[in-house]
Amino acid sequence: MRAFLAGICAIAAALCTLAAVPAKAEVRILTSPGGQVGPFLDLFERVRDSGERVVIDGPCLSACTLVLSMVPGDRICVTKRAVLGFHAARSMDRRGRMYAEPEASALVLQAYPTGVRNWIIRRGGLTSHLLLLRGRELAALYPRCR
């Protein structure tokens, strides 16, 4: 249990460095492998409420993609380095074994903006396989940062 709590603390600390707020009042995501959903929801709720813009400037994987559901799309832009990675929700049991969370996956899928949700569905939906959205396909859904 201590190792689990230490892992959560490490993720929270990484989030603080991951989403630095420069003077331009923007949050820049440089690289995020994802992690526990709770800290990301808290962070993106604060970003949404602050009015700050989100610049996705590198890999934003797993729980990081919740930014798309939490922050209005007109306040999100992507760079050429941006990559979004999606997969089904999963949890860990007391023995450290991962298991699927189909109900959570369905809720997350419905929370994504329509364009993102349709892109995921066209590729078979949220599964254990990581789907990567980048390049022209991503630029068709979100504007390039200026």
Q: What is the pLDDT of residue 24?
A: 56
- Residue ranges covered by each domain of the chain: 2-139
Residue environment code for 104-116, b if the CB has 16+ CB neighbours within 10 A, otherwise e:
ebeebbeebeeeb
The topology (CATH level 3) of 2-139 is 2-enoyl-CoA Hydratase; Chain A, domain 1 (3.90.226)
pLDDT along the chain (146 residues), means of 10: 39 44 76 94 97 98 98 98 97 92 96 98 97 98 95
Q: What is the pLDDT of residue 32?
A: 97
Q: What is the pLDDT of residue 146?
A: 85
- For 20-68, the DSSP string reads ---TTSEEEE--B----HHHHHHHHHHHHHHT-EEEE-SEEEGGGGGHH
CA atoms of 19 and 7, how far apart (whole Å): 18
pTM higher than the cut 0.85? no
Q: What is the pLDDT of residue 115?
A: 98
- Bridge partners (DSSP) of residue 77 are 55
CA atoms of 32 and 13, how far apart (whole Å): 12
